[in-house]
A and B are shown apart, each in its own frame.
Chain A
Amino acid sequence: MAVTAPECYSIKSEEAYRRMDKDRLQYLLEQDKNGQNSPEEAAELEAWYLSAESRPAFTESLSADGLSALEGKIFARIEAAQPVPQEWNVPSVNRSGWFNWRGIAAAVLLLVVAGIGMYMFQRQNGRIVERTAFGETRVLTLPDGSEVTLNGNSVLSYDREWPELREVKLEGEGYFKVVHTKDHRKFRVRTGDDFSLDVLGTQFNISKRESGTRIVLDEGKVRCNLGDSERDTLVLKPGEMIRFTKKPTDYQRERVETGRYSAWKEHKLVFKNTSLREVAAILQDTYGLETEAGNPELLDRQISGSVPTDNVELLLEGIAEASAVTISRDGNQIVIAPRAE
């Protein structure tokens, strides 16, 4: 169209184009839309359009902040106007979890909590405290009907009367079956002042050892509160494990096979390339057994497979078998030695 731009129009001043009569402009636009415009009309519209180029650029009059406000505002409109790609969504970290929680019907939530405690609870009046001895497992029923299987050397405590929040404190290791309440009351497991997790409908594993704390999520959702629960929360996805040594906020997240972390409940321990050093930590934490290795390098030996936990003798035998060492026991002391040829 511009090809035909005739000289006669260029006679008009730019100002004349800019101030083109609105009816004339509307007429030209209608003609253009219907494809009925003559080459002259097309050129006139083109000339009007081009004449506007001499007007000042609006955005140049803005300050840097004003400019970025405008940039942001329009992008927000773009975002709001379309099915946005997932990664643009603002994660509403503090609410979405509970929203899903409400949607879960009549849920029996299984949650496995495994962990080894390192400090004793403060006893309080009106507080129920359950303890297990080394190597003992026990099934407890909570006031709301939830069930907890405690592993050895563990302590579970909770208020006799629960307020709104169902909170239990755990030192050690346990397998929880949490029942859903009609009024959607939260269930929280606390392992320390700086760490707790909220059940969002789920099965998971939490382990607090001297060497660190570990949470493994089988399915569903849990929310971990790292320190200040309002601010530092994180939601785990199925198959994920987080662990930290001291400060919860210094956690690491990774994907794992979840099954082996709760196998103890089925009275077995499942190892996969697990070093004897880690096995020794379990023996210490759960069974109160001190390990001594004749040769420290033996502790780097890795074992895979499962061993029964019903009976400590059988357990030790299984470990010895899997790692091709001999294990001798004297009270709470066990000694690992290379197997004689």
Chain B
Amino acid sequence: MRTGDSDAFAALYRKYWRRLFDAAYRRLLLREECEEIIQEIFTDLWTKRETLLISVSLEAYLFGASRYSIYNHIRSRKIREAYLEHWLKTPGEEGNYIEDRLHYEELASALEKSIENLPEKLRKVYVLSRKEHLTYKEIAEQEQIPVDTVEKQMGRALKILRDNLKEFAWAWLVLALWDLYR
């Protein structure tokens, strides 16, 4: 990890993000804030990767950082009027679960639909890369096409998806990180 290897970083993210998100959601009950916290923890981890000395286990460090961040978020709710209103609603918690869940499911289904509509060649490359986590090189070997072509096709698939998902203001962000799954 301290070598600054981005693959290791992505693997680390994949390993912990879910438990950290659940931990944050249990206390905050607001997906926006939870996303923000996970983002902060990992951004911080990446920035400090060269210098960070963790005396406890990495896991303990991550959950500790997460708790610290959760506390900060709750404190700042007090001063932020926008959140105050939300805070007052919190007792009816169950509603949030459903609403927040829907948010991700809608994104996922819009994405799925767009993927299905991709031209066959592009769809294949996209699925192999994003869902089966194959590297470009592996895809090139499997499909018997040059690596450069895989890159091109992937770029083109993402462009199409982005265009189709314009109504999701942040969808481009999701698509922007295709590279990390190489």
Look across to chain B and name the residue whose beta carbon is closest to the beta carbon of A53: B26
Secondary structure at the A interface, as helix, strand, loop or mixed, is helix
Residues 36-58 of A at the B interface (beta carbon under 8 Å): 49, 52-53, 55-58
Look across to chain A and name the residue whose beta carbon is closest to the beta carbon of B145: A249
- Knowing A61-B101, A62-B101, A66-B104 touch, does A231 contact B174 (C-beta < 8 A)? no
Least CB distance from B157 to A in Å reads 11
Residues 176-235 of A at the B interface (beta carbon under 8 Å): 231-234
Q: Is residue A118 within 8 Å, beta carbon to beta carbon, of the partner chain? A: no
Residues on B with beta carbons closer than 8 Å to the beta carbon of A49: 27, 67
For chain B, the bracket of interface size reads 35 or more
Residues on A with beta carbons closer than 8 Å to the beta carbon of B4: 85
Q: Is residue A30 within 8 Å, beta carbon to beta carbon, of the partner chain? A: yes
Residues of A within 8 A of B (CB-CB), count: 54
Residues on A with beta carbons closer than 8 Å to the beta carbon of B111: 65, 69
Q: Is residue A76 within 8 Å, beta carbon to beta carbon, of the partner chain? A: yes
Q: Please, how many angstroms separate the alpha-carbon atoms of A80 and B40 in the complex?
A: 11
Give the A-B pair count, Cβ closer than 8 A.
Answer: 152
Question: In the bound complex, do residue B22 and residue A88 qualify as a contact, i.e. CB atoms below 8 Å apart?
Answer: no
Residue from the list A62, A75, A89 in contact with B105, Cβ < 8 A: A62
Look across to chain A and name the residue whose beta carbon is closest to the beta carbon of B24: A58
Least CB distance from B160 to A in Å reads 12
Q: Is residue B151 within 8 Å, beta carbon to beta carbon, of the partner chain? A: yes
Least CB distance from B126 to A in Å reads 13
Residues on A with beta carbons closer than 8 Å to the beta carbon of B40: 81
Question: In the bound complex, do residue B178 and residue A90 qualify as a contact, i.e. CB atoms below 8 Å apart?
Answer: yes
Q: Is residue A12 within 8 Å, beta carbon to beta carbon, of the partner chain? A: no
- Knowing A62-B101, A69-B108, A234-B148 touch, does A77 contact B35 (C-beta < 8 A)? yes
Q: Please list 8 pairs of residues, one from A and one from B, whose beta carbons are closer than 8 Å in the complex, sorted by A's number.
A: A58-B31, A58-B97, A62-B105, A67-B104, A70-B21, A74-B17, A76-B177, A78-B46
